Amino acid sequence: MFDGRLLNGVGVLAAVVESGSFARAAVALGLTASGVSRAVARLESRIGVRLLERTTRSLRLTDDGTRFYEQVVPLLGGIEEAAAYAAGTTQTVRGRLRINVDPYFSRLILGPNLGTFLDRYPDLQIEVVTRNEIGDLVADGMDVAVRFGEIPAKNSLIARQLFRTRVITVAAPSYLARHGTPKLPVDLTDHTCIQYQDPLTGRAFEWELRRGKKVVPIETRGRVLVNDAGTALATCLAGIGIAQVFSLGMKPYIDSGQLVDLYPDWPDETFPLHCFYTSRHHVPAKVRAFIDFCVEIVS
C-alpha cells in the first residue's frame, strides 16, 4: 500500500536540495529547520538509505541520494502537474462533457444551439446521449442530465431548476379542418387526443387545463399512445390528433401556422425543466458552463 508520508518526505528533500540548506527549505515550506531535518531523517529511515551528508558547513547528496533524487523528482513533478490539471478543471472549461438529455429538449432546444456553446468553449468535446429516463449518472459515466418533470422523491442527485414551461394544447390546421375546433376545454372529450405515456406508471398522462385557481380535468380518448415527445409532436403535425406539448420550442410552429394553440387563455399549467449532477462540491467548470448555457437558451 502506498505510504503518503513517503511523498511528503520526498517533497521536503527536494526543497532542501533546491535551496541548499535546511534553513532556506524551512522558510520555503513554512516549517522549522529542525522540522525539515526530522522529515528527511524519517524518509531515510523508511527507505533504509542515507540520502544527505551533513556537516556544520555543507550539505550534499550521497551517491545513493543522488540516484534516488534523480529518479523520484521527475515523478514528483508529474504528480504536481496532474494535481494542477485536476484543479484546473474546476476553473477552465475543457475536456469531455457527457450529457444525458431528454430527447425533446435535445432535438428542439439544445441541438439547434449547440454550435454556440462549442464556439464559446473550443477546448471542450461534447457527447450527447438522449434517453427517456435519467438512469444512473455515475454508473453511466455522465456528467450532467437534463430532464422535464418534478424531482423524484428518492433522489441523491443535485437538482437545479432551469425553467418552468407552459403545457399547451395544440392541433394542426388539417385536423381542425376535418374535425372542427374545440371551443371549450370540455369539448376535447369529443376529439382524438394523442396521449403520452408516463414512464413511471406506463399509463397515459392525465390532461388538465389551468387558469389561476381553476383546474379543468379532461377525459381524453384516442388510438395513439406514445412514449416520446418528439413522436407526439410529429403525429400532431400530421393532423392525426390533438396533443398537449411544452410551449418551449413551439413558437416557430405556432408562428408559421403549422400548429394552433387552442387555449391561450388557459396559461397556468406548467412543467419544470431540471439539470441534475452528482455533487455540489467541486463542480467542474464544464458542468457549470453547460448549466448556465441551458438557462440562457431556455430563457
pTM for this predicted structure: 0.64
Work out the pLDDT band at 168, boundaries 50, 70, 90.
Answer: very high
Work out the pLDDT band at 89, boundaries 50, 70, 90.
Answer: low
Work out the pLDDT band at 77, boundaries 50, 70, 90.
Answer: low
What whole-number distance in Å separates Cα of residue 204 and Cα of residue 277? 29
Question: What does the pLDDT average to over 77-88?
Answer: 60
CATH fold of 4-87 reads Arc Repressor Mutant, subunit A (1.10.10)
Which residue is listed with cell 413511471? 200
Domain ranges, ordered by start, for the chain: 4-87, 95-298
- Residue 272 class from Cβ within 10 Å (0-12 exposed, 13-18 middle, 19+ buried)? middle
Work out the pLDDT band at 84, boundaries 50, 70, 90.
Answer: low
Work out the pLDDT band at 2, boundaries 50, 70, 90.
Answer: very low
Question: What does the pLDDT average to over 75-100?
Answer: 70
Grid coordinates belonging to 120: 464559446
- Cβ atoms of 272 and 157 closer than 8 Å: no
CATH number of this structure's domain 95-298, picked from the four choices 3.40.190.290, 3.90.550.10, 3.10.450.50, 3.40.50.620: 3.40.190.290
